[in-house]
Amino acid sequence: MGSTKEPSLQKNDTKPPGIQFIENLKRSPISYKTYQAIVLIVTFFAYLTYHTTRKTTSIVKTALDPQSPDFNPTVLRAGWTPFNGPDGTELLGDLDVTFLFVYAIGMYFSGHIGDRMDLRIFLTIGMVGTGLFTALFGIGYWANIHNFYYYLIVQMLAGLFQSTGWPSVVAVVGNWFGKKKRGLIMGVWNSHTSLGNIIGSLAASILLKYGWGWSMFAPGLGISFVGVVLFFLLPVSPKSVGAVINDDEEIKEPLLKMKGDEKDEGAVGFIEAWSIPGVAPFALCLFFAKLVAYTFLYWLPFYISHTAIEGRYLTDEESGNLSTMFDVGGVFGGILAGHISDRSDARATTAASFMLFAIPSLFLYRIYGHISTTINITLMLITGMFVNGPYALITTAVSADLGTHSSLKGNSRALATVTAIIDGTGSIGAAVGPLLTGYISTKSWNAVFMMLMVSALIAGLLLTRLVITEVAEKIQGLQTHELPRSRPALMEV
């Protein structure tokens, strides 16, 4: 009696069809830990495919906008009208910024909707829609479409459907996992971002030789398939599938309380979510952090193909493959930042430190990256680690922390909204970076890297007040910890 571990059971028909099939096959309910494993695996591959489709554009643009003989006299290509003209680089930048601005705006609405409807259905719609419009971009190759506005509209709609992903997967994972080692667990889980970029780069680079349309069509088909799998398997929350936490599977601090255990005050409003302490500075920090990260996401293969390494210009495929080293560094950066923030219990200090260390790494990559492939790879790994580390930390563990902030007084229906606000604000920066790069790079790549270094500095400085608070709390904690040693002597006197 009095146990709060067992939520009220839902009707069996609310469970995903695949879960019902597995339970009928086993003739027994699925355990809580098995549900957790399913959630981690399904959401991991779901967001991996979101990023796979997002990355392909950066590879395709090297085929759409051919290298000038002035850049690389050994490689001559016809390109693709209208992107092979003198304003081709700017047009590609316009595609990026259109996609990302719609993505950012859509993110705010997606978080609002995600806290109010079945996330399994919402994610399925988002993934299939993303796949459809990514594939339609590639179909332009076979249909011989040369109208810029066709690609612009397709990118806008792809960005809208892409915005369904992040708030939803964070909210689902938040429903199933406790606070212990949240930074490390979510740092490892968040490697889907970098791995998705890597797979997208490699797949698009390999398919490019068969025609750039395949580099878009195949990833679009892939995310649609994973979306269907998600529809059949994803359990959104313990309550939605009637999951019971057994004594040997106790989750002492759930990331989100179950609906039956909380004050269900309804989903948190947009303005109320902004007012949660810490949301605004982390959201603005992420604006500049994603400006840097997404400039690399969209322009790194293009930059590499236009920069002689050891006196040789790389092919499109070689440039795409080499650019994956940035995301390999990002995998380690996300895990390392999560682990350090767990051990230190200082999210802001960890994020700010990584952003400040990104400044010299960006400088060194620009100045010395051309000397040799080995030096280029080494510096790219280091840069990826420091740039993607805080980006991964803020969009996962920090968002989860703030989405369950004590000021919400037990209301759990805020995580998708808070995540959307933070990542949506960051995504505006993600749009600004590639847009500016499209124009600035035609004049000077040195100016592009200067923009990135200034952005990294601002990102770190925006967390200054939170860093000071964390340091003060650490100092106070050390002083408090030392007090009990002196108390016995005082009592004896």
Please state whether 311 falls in left (phi above 0), alpha (psi between -120 and 50) or beta. left
Q: Are 339 and 460 in contact (CB under 8 A)?
A: no
- The single residue listed with the structure tokens 């419009």 is 133
Q: Which domains are present in the chain? A: 12-241+265-479 (1.20.1250.20)
Longest dimension (CA), the chain: 92
CA distance 444 to 452: 13
Q: Are 306 and 67 in contact (CB under 8 A)?
A: yes
- Rounded (10°) CA dihedral 322, 323, 325, 330: -170
CA distance 434 to 291: 8
CA distance 413 to 257: 9
Query: Phi and psi for 438 in degrees, rounded to 5?
Result: -60, -35
> Amino acid letter at 206?
I
| pLDDT-above-90 percentage for the chain | 35
CA distance 415 to 396: 11
CA distance 433 to 294: 7
pLDDT score, position 413: 56
Q: Which two tokens stand for residue 471?
A: 């340091």
Instruction: Please name which of 229, 160, 214, 195 lies closest in space to residue 51, comparing C-alpha atoms.
Output: 195
First to last CA, the chain: 50
Sequential pLDDT tens for the chain (493 residues): 333 343 333 344 478 999 888 888 888 888 888 998 999 999 999 999 999 998 888 888 878 876 544 444 444 457 888 888 888 878 888 888 889 889 888 887 887 787 778 889 999 999 999 999 999 999 999 999 999 999 999 999 999 999 999 888 888 887 787 665 566 777 788 888 888 988 998 899 889 889 999 999 999 999 999 999 999 999 998 888 887 765 444 444 444 443 344 444 455 566 777 777 778 889 999 999 999 998 988 888 889 888 888 888 888 788 888 988 998 998 899 889 888 888 888 888 999 999 999 999 999 999 999 999 999 999 999 999 999 988 888 877 777 667 655 554 444 456 667 777 888 888 888 888 888 888 888 888 999 999 999 999 999 999 999 899 888 888 887 766 555 544 444 333 3
Model pTM above 0.95:
no
Q: Which residues, at least 6 apart from 437, have a Cβ–Cβ distance to it below 8 Å?
A: 93, 295, 298, 299, 448, 451
CA distance 3 to 314: 64
Q: Each residue of 174-195: pLDDT tens digit?
A: 778 766 556 677 778 888 888 8
369 CA to centre of own chain? 26
